[in-house]
Amino acid sequence: MSAQELCPICGEGHVTVQVQMVESEYKGHKAELPLHFKLCDVCTSDYAGAAESKLNRRALMVFRKQVDGLLTGEEIIALRKLYKLTQGQAARLFGGGPVAFSKYENDDVAQSEAMDTLLRLVRRSQDAFWALVEEKGVEAEFMSEHTKVPTQSKVLHFTAKRGNADRPDPQYEPRALRTFSGGTKQWKQ
């Protein structure tokens, strides 16, 4: 027989884990969310310990992500598994810090809109995923075979050679790629 947890409030009763559905509202949207808590059988005090608080925060975060139109943790896990990435590889490729994907996937935090857009783009297009891998220069860390972007694509491709003695290793400079000279149809740098 397992020992039940004593109530920290009265010290006499035993607590049991309870789940109750409660209505939550966020940005005008309402939903029934599970509320986890512990209840004492003697003093009838209820409280949420660390484990219950974490479950409650995660349920609320899933609801908020859905209202905000962001990918949920389950959707991010599916995306990461689609490309056979570890959480660390995903963080290095997409950004966000070393434990960002763990937090996104567990619904501990919401990813930014920019991160969400990037994730949706690579979910939709393998070409975009491999272009990002190439852009970041981490091809060796990922799968050895990948699909090339078709030559008739309107995506511009730049080839940079690393280790040239005359020039240092190329660095990603987004501002250098944003200026377009329409008359000569060449990018200004």
The DSSP bridge partners found for residue 18 are: 37
The answer to the question of residue 19 being in a domain is: yes
Whether residues 111 and 149 share a domain: the answer is yes
Q: Which domain holds residue 21?
A: 15-68
Same domain membership, residue 163 and residue 77: yes
CA torsion angle 28 29 32 33 (round to 10): -90
pTM: 0.68
Structural domains counted in the chain: 2
Residue 188 lies in a domain: no
Answer yes or no: do 173 and 105 share one domain.
yes
Residue 4 included in any domain: no
Q: Which domain CATH number covers 40? A: 3.10.20.860
Q: Is the pLDDT of residue 160 over 70?
A: no
d(CA 139, CA 85): 13
Q: What percent of the chain has pLDDT over 90?
A: 67
Tens digits of residue pLDDT in 59-112? 999 999 999 999 999 999 999 999 999 999 999 999 988 899 999 999 999 999
